[in-house]
Amino acid sequence: MQDVYLYFENGLFLQGKSFGAAGTSVGEVVFNTSMSGYEEIITDPSYAGQFIIFSMPEIGIVGTNPLDMESRAGFCKGIIVRHYNEFHSNFRSINSLDTFLKSQNILGIAGIDTRSLIKTIRNNGAMMMIASTEISNQQELKNKLEKSKNIQEINLMPEVSTKTPYKHKHGVFDFNTFEYATPKTHKKIIAIDFGAKRNILNELCAVGLEAEVMPHNFQALEIIQRFKNGEIQGVFLSNGPGDPLMLKDEVEQIKLLIEAKIPIFGICLGHQLLAIAHGYETYKLKFGHHGGNHPVKNLITQSVEITAQNHNYSVPEEISQIAEVTHRNLFDNTIEGVKYKHSPIFSVQHHPEASPGPKESNHLFKQFANMI
């Protein structure tokens, strides 16, 4: 392990030990409270442009394998851990985390007091940072960070979204047979890829929906025509990274889908984009919600569901003027789900597909299938 140097927007300067890729990276730093599933987290496209601090102090022991990847690559800038385990021991492990990060060109940073750093983020909010195995001078790191774009100024869609449409037909992975289920599909939908996790597509297929995945720069008129012809029965808007207010072209296309009364289900970024398309702009949370253990109250059933989360933005309370609030976050009471009053549209902020995390909210996929 070679030395790695970290400089944060608030002036904090730290030194750690690197694993994974070497080099210099700039990004926003957030923390994740999940106790397991680090490979799924690293390959969640919603972390594009970000450094992830893991609150779990021991990382690396279960290694990595292709089946646990949630997208075609890892899009985060780097990960920060208390202690990295090079020795990996799991019957599914193919490579060490170090080898995996090198293959993805992602920085790994160990030997950091992550408990203290997470408290700093909790108190000061998410901030930009720079990490380097090449630059050790604090002032040089500061200058480079100040010249870099803030994550809110970067459109990450071209990086994470698919370039060409494709069809997704297999369901959830069966760990007994080590094969993907192939459920019978009875409806077809368009899934807009803003950085979709693979398990979202698996869950859609598991409830009988064949998904044709389209890029972020989709054309709504084409989808509307196919809906009118009966070729497709609904649209899904996926999760993804960055500030939703950056995606003005995508919002304009979503407005056309709304006007056409097409059934729509949105998750995370899709949830936020639907709010913006209805005229209610999102706002940034202090440090966001990232982890697999966040309680959300389902206001329809009055039950509490433990959920997986990964977002820095939230929809405003004013949206209740046109939508029924269906879910609330029990940590800060922010809106976690809405059902629009005059349209066949609903959305949630959390991740019902989990991976990693609990599956207590995956009934929402069945709800979408029933609606269409």
> Which tens digits make up the pLDDT trace of 173-186?
887 787 888 888 99
- CA distance linking residue 133 with residue 107, whole number of Å: 9
Average pLDDT over the chain reads 97
Phi, psi of 25 (to 5 degrees): -140, 145
| Predicted local confidence at residue 178, as pLDDT | 78
Task: Answer yes or no: do 59 and 187 share one domain.
Answer: no
Cα distance between residue 222 and residue 329, in whole Å: 36
Q: Which of 75-84, 173-182, 257-266 has the lowest mean pLDDT?
A: 173-182
Average pLDDT score over residue span 281-309? 97
Active site residues: 268, 351, 353
Taking the C-alpha atoms of residue 354 and residue 360, their distance in angstroms, rounded to an integer, is 9
Q: Could you tell me the pTM of the whole model?
A: 0.96
Of 104, 120, 153, which residue constitutes the final position of a domain?
Answer: 153
Give the residue from 153, 175, 198 where a domain finishes. Answer: 153
Residues 118 and 179 in one domain: no
CATH code assigned at 81: 3.50.30.20
Q: Report the pLDDT value the prediction gives residue 13, as an integer from 0 to 100.
A: 98
Residues 210 and 282 grouped into a single domain: yes
* H-helix or E-strand spanning residue 168: strand 166-168
DSSP 150: P
Considering the domain architecture, whether residues 136 and 240 belong to the same structural domain is answered as: no
Q: Cβ neighbours of residue 346 under 8 Å, at least 6 residues apart?
A: 264, 265, 266, 326, 337, 338, 339, 340, 367, 368, 371
Q: Which domain covers residue 35, as residue numbers?
A: 3-153
Report which secondary-structure segment, H or E, holds 302. Answer: none
pLDDT digits (tens, 9 = 90+) for 88-115: 999 999 999 999 999 999 999 999 999 9
- Report d(CA 197, CA 78) in Å as an integer: 19
Same domain for 250 and 316?
yes
Residue 87 has pLDDT above 90, yes or no: yes
Give yes or no: residues 195 and 115 share one domain: no
Residues 146 and 217 in one domain: no
Do 164 and 89 reside in the same domain of the chain? no
Which are the contacts of 228, defined by CB distance < 8 A and separation ≥ 6? none
Q: Are residues 95 and 174 in the same domain?
A: no
Q: How confident is the model at residue 169 (pLDDT cuts 50, 70, 90)?
A: confident
Both structure tokens of 357: 């995390």
3-state secondary structure of 31: strand
DSSP for 323-370 reads EEEEEEETTT--EEEEEETTSSEEEESSBTT-SSS--TTTHHHHHHHH
Residues 110 and 8: their CA atoms lie apart, in Å, by 16
| Residue 161 shares a structural domain with residue 40 | no
